[in-house]
Amino acid sequence: MTASWLELVGSIGMVICTAISFIVSLIYLIVIILLQGRNLSVSSLLSSNTFLSALTYSSAHFTIALSVLRSDIAVTDGIRRRLYTSFCMPSAFLFYCGCALLYYSYVMEALQRFVFVVFNDYRSLLKRRIQLLFIFIQWLLCILGTFIPLSLTNQLKYDIYMNMCIIPIRSSGWTLYYAIFCYSIPLMLIAIFYYQLIQYIFVVREIGRAHV
């Protein structure tokens, strides 16, 4: 006997959604590279960074989704079996790191638009070499910010119900850390950049109207 139909539908849906996300990210990344090659514009470079981050995150999520589905199918008389594999820990590391990479790639795009409009006199910040440096720093910080704490503190545990390695809810401190690092900080930065950008546009529009 497998898990309930609702759990199976949820697991199958997660597998399908993550597979679509992986395929779409891969297609867009290949198209951008084939069309522009080494002559990537700054916008295309940042878009490629976002799709590569999405590819990293969705690949880990897809692996986890398959494990969850496998666990649901293997349920016998309402009892879940331990189906731990060697991919459990690496996919969990990649999941948390990919999540941070994806959200901070959105920050990079927001920052690029903000600099392009507001700091028009500092176009040197929009050079491809500078953006490549920012992308390198983004990946380095996301890797260090997720891998090192997980490796040193041994917070990842195998959850037999979900058949995946995650940070237990009882580890409230580390759960809060990853919630802030992977979600709160990038979302706040995105909101600040776009808010300042919109405010700047309104101010410029008002000045333009005053001189008409």
CB 132 within 8 A of CB 42: no
| pLDDT tens sequence for the chain (212 residues) | 455 667 778 778 888 998 999 999 999 888 888 887 777 788 888 889 999 999 999 988 888 888 877 777 766 555 556 666 677 778 888 888 999 999 999 999 999 888 888 887 777 777 888 888 999 999 999 999 888 887 777 777 777 666 677 776 666 677 788 889 889 999 999 999 999 999 988 888 877 777 65
CB 167 within 8 A of CB 89: no
Q: With CA atoms as reference, report the closest residue to 20 among 48, 50, 70, 61.
A: 61
Give the pLDDT score at 102.
93
Per-position b or e across 191-203, b if 16+ CB within 10 A of its CB = eebeeebeeeeee
The radius of gyration of the chain from alpha carbons, rounded to an integer in Å, stands at: 21
CB 59 within 8 A of CB 22: yes
pTM: 0.84
Give the pLDDT score at 3.
54
- How many Cα neighbours within 13 Å face the side chain of 210? 6
Burial class (CB in 10 A: 0-12, 13-18, 19+), 154: exposed
Q: With CA atoms as reference, report the closest residue to 57 among 11, 22, 82, 15.
A: 22
Contacts of 82 (CB under 8 A, 6+ apart): 158, 160
Rounded to 10°, the helix 128-153/172-179 angle is: 170
CB 48 within 8 A of CB 32: yes
